[in-house]
Structure formats: structure tokens, C-alpha cells
Amino acid sequence: MEFIDAKHAAALVAGADQLDRKEIEDLARQRLHFLVDYAREHSPYLKEKYADIPENYSLADIPISTRQEMTQQFDRWVCDPEITNEKVDEYVADFENLFTPFLGKYKVISTSGTTAQPLRIVRDSRHIAIHDALMAQRYFGGPLLKDVEGLKEPNLKQCAIIAPGVLNSSYISFERVRRSYKARGIEDRTLFLSTLTPVDEMIRKLNEFQPDVIGCYPSVIYTLAFEQEAGRLNIHPKLIGCSAEKLPEENRKFISEVFGCPVNDNYCSTEGGEVAMLCPAGHMHVNSDWVIVEPVDGENNPVPCGVKSEGILMTNLACLVQPVIRYHMSDSVIMHDENCTCGLNTPWFEIEGRVEDILEFDNNGTTVRISGYLLSVCSYIVPGYDHCQVIQRANDAIEVRISVMQGYDRIETEQKILSSIRQLLQDNGLNSIRIELVNKPLQRTKSGKFRTAFKEFV
């Protein structure tokens, strides 16, 4: 395996920033061939899968991979025979293991497995060094944040407002920060808030803590921005960092104006790592020297720039131990290859993933906002959850449609999801909202996507 340490990774990332578009594409192509050659030599499954690739192959000649395929063939997919699915399961079963290297040298990222078989991604030191360098140089050192005063000060007060769940990668990242602070005796300079924390309690804790940096989901900080604007929340962060959901540009500008600080965003995934980062023009630039993103239609045919895709094929050029090559994901994007006004020489895309409506309810003259993301979180923690859709029919009424996974009791699962939604509403002072369970198919958008929450008054 090609060894790349932190210093080398930083030099590689900095060097690519000086290249033009064609030079970056050539560099990515070289790295792709290195990755494929490595996979064919070290992965038993990929050696078979790639047996018929022509000698002078292009990206399109490489077979597409799926999540189901990767999970089912895990033991034969990985490039280190010491790694097995059984060993990974044992490792992630103990939360404390997540803070020590797997087999002494790897990091493991895992989904919860609540709605499907857990997806395990093993990351080697090469991936970790490269993607740490991407964050350091293109996120914190990029054009949006490089001149922000105070961000380089030590021991900034860090707050994370994220979904509960010990396998949540955002939570694990925050926990690493918290433990680092604890080792230095300054654990009180960190604050974790679950997204399910009632808004009034969240406001109180944020006002007491006065964070310097906030990491959160766009819909959550968007609802808090209204509380800041109304004066109930009064904090002055130096930076707000968003991820996991689409952040509409008008929402980003509103959040930034209300809190008086930059709002950054990045597109990252379990499979691809740090895929794209926001520029001052509001565009998500692909880290295309280390990640290849191919927009595709419903049949996995290429989609041209400027046209909305039905999915993407992701290739992570950094990780060798578990190759992710032309891996299908359902995210919808619009790719752009025209030059950006920010001056970066990489392509950028618009994320066309689901943008959940913010549902608004009246509580004794005060508007209470509940994001679709929160409704999703309190639903997917219920075993058997497949999909849940909340439609606001009036100022005091919602309709709920639920899809239950096979093998689970439908009535029991539905009631648990309804109870979880009702508890979320009550925790936010909404005790009189009428909730109707409707046994109808979930509504889809024109593109066929589900929306978790939206307004449709009758």
C-alpha cells in the first residue's frame, strides 16, 4: 500500500490547488488506474469483477458497484484478509473501540443498520491523511473561511447539534473532540445537544454556553435562526458548519446575517469521505483530485452538465483497503463545468436532494418550527421503520403516512412511530396538535423522491 503521511497529504492537496482543470483530470485518471490495479491485485472479489476490463480502460469500462453488493461480499471485497465482517461487527459493538484503531491501523465508519443491513466502511491511514488535509486546506483554509478572525485560536468552545446514535459519524467526531478537551481539563468548553432536544431547552443551553463554533444540520440551525432574530436566542458564534442536508443559498444567507458569522457547508459521505466543499459563490466544489462524481439517470447512463441526475456514481481515490469505485448512490445533483467566480479550478454541483419543509405551529402566540429532519430522526430510531411522511394539513393538524419493513408488526411499529412524533411535538410545547394516521401510499415528487415533511393545507 502506498504510504501517505499527514505532511505528504498536505503537499499533495496544496499542489493540486495550483493545477488547471485538465491537469486535475489527468491526475485523477492516474490515481484511478492505481486504485483499480491495487483492487485487482488485493481484493478477491474485485479481481473477479474486473476480470473483463479492457487493457486501455476508461472510467466507463469499470463495472458499477452497489451497497447490497458491498455488504454481501464484504469479506472478499476488502484488500486485507485479516479484516472480516465478524471482526468489524465485534469492533463496532463496543462504543469504546471506536476511539482506538481497528486491528491497530484502521478506522471503521458504520451506519446504524436501523433501516437496512449496516454498511461498514474501513478507512486506511492513506484515506485519513488525505481527507484530513482536504478539510484543513479547503474547508478551514478555503476562500470562505481563511480570513475569519479567531478561528485559529486554541480551545474554541465547540457545540454539536446532531442526531442521537453512537454510530453516527458526526457524533463520533464530536466525541473525539470532547475527549481531547477532557484530557486537557477543559471538557466544559464542549456542548452536545441532540436534535430532539426541545427548542426552549436548546435555547437556554446555547445562551448559557455561548459557543464559538457550531456543527449542525441546516434545517435545525435554520429554525434556531428565527429564535435568534426574535431575541430569545442570543449567541455570537465565529462559525456555523452544516452538513448532511441540502442548505439552500437563501437559507444560508439568512442564517449568516442573523448570527453575524460565516456559514459553511460540505458534502461528505460514508463511502466517499470529503466529497465537495462550499465556496463564497455558494457552489459545492468537488475535490476532484481525490473523488470522482458521475451524475447518472435512473438506468445509470451519464447525465450531461446542467441536467438533474437521478443518482451518482462515487469513486474514492484515497482509500485502498476497501475500494469504492463507481459506487451507486441515490443522491440527485446538477453538475456544472463552467468556471466559478470564486476562482477554484474544480467542477461544482447543485445538490438536488430532499429539502424538507419547516412545519410551523402556533403555541400561545409563539411560532414553533419543526423541521422535517427532526421528524425523520424521531421516526427512524424505531425498529421496523421504512419510511414516514408527515403532511401538515392545518395550523393544528398533521397527517402521517408510514411504511413498515417486512418482518415487523405493522400496527405496533406504526404506534411506536406515532408515539415518537407525538413526544417530539409535546417536548416543544405542542400538546394540542391533532395527528391522523392515514393508510395511503407515501406521496412522491415528480422525480420520484420521497419527502419527509411538507405543508398541504386543505
Question: The pTM is what?
Answer: 0.84
pLDDT at residue 269, as a whole number: 86
Partner residues linked to 398 by β-bridges: 392, 435
> What pairing do the DSSP bridges indicate for beta strands 273-278 and 158-162?
unpaired
Q: Name the residue range of residue 408's domain.
A: 358-455
Examine the domain organization and report whether 379 and 408 are in the same domain: yes
pLDDT at residue 236, as a whole number: 97
Round to whole Å and give the CA distance between 386 and 376.
Answer: 11
Examine the domain organization and report whether 129 and 277 are in the same domain: yes
Q: Name residues of the chain where pLDDT drops below 70.
A: 1-2, 111-118, 164-168, 353-356, 445-450, 458
Round to whole Å and give the CA distance between 218 and 199.
Answer: 15
Q: Where are the alpha helices (DSSP H) in 164-302?
A: 169-183, 199-209, 218-230, 249-259
Count CA within 13 A, CB hemisphere, residue 74: 19
Here the CATH number for the domain that contains residue 437 is: 3.30.300.30
Query: 351, 374, 391 — which closes off a domain?
Result: 351
> What pairing do the DSSP bridges indicate for beta strands 158-162 and 213-216?
parallel
With b meaning 16 or more CB within 10 Å and e meaning fewer, what string describes 290-309?
bbbbbbbeeeeeebeeeeeb
- Contact, 325 vs 35, CB < 8 A? yes
Here the CATH number for the domain that contains residue 180 is: 3.40.50
Partner residues linked to 435 by β-bridges: 398
Three cell numbers written together for 107? 478506522
Examine the domain organization and report whether 223 and 325 are in the same domain: no
Tell whether 159 is covered by a domain. yes
Question: What confidence tens digit (pLDDT) does each residue in 161-186 have?
Answer: 987 665 667 888 899 999 999 999 99
Here the CATH number for the domain that contains residue 30 is: 3.40.50.12780
Tell whether 186 is covered by a domain. yes
* Residue carrying C-alpha cell 422525480: 447
Question: What confidence tens digit (pLDDT) does each residue in 52-94 have?
Answer: 999 899 999 999 999 999 999 999 999 999 999 999 989 988 8
**Considering its fold, how many domains does the chain have in total?**
3
Question: What confidence tens digit (pLDDT) does each residue in 376-426 have?
Answer: 878 877 888 888 899 999 888 999 999 898 889 999 999 999 999 999 999
Q: Quick one: which of 416, 419, 428 has its CA closest to 370?
A: 428
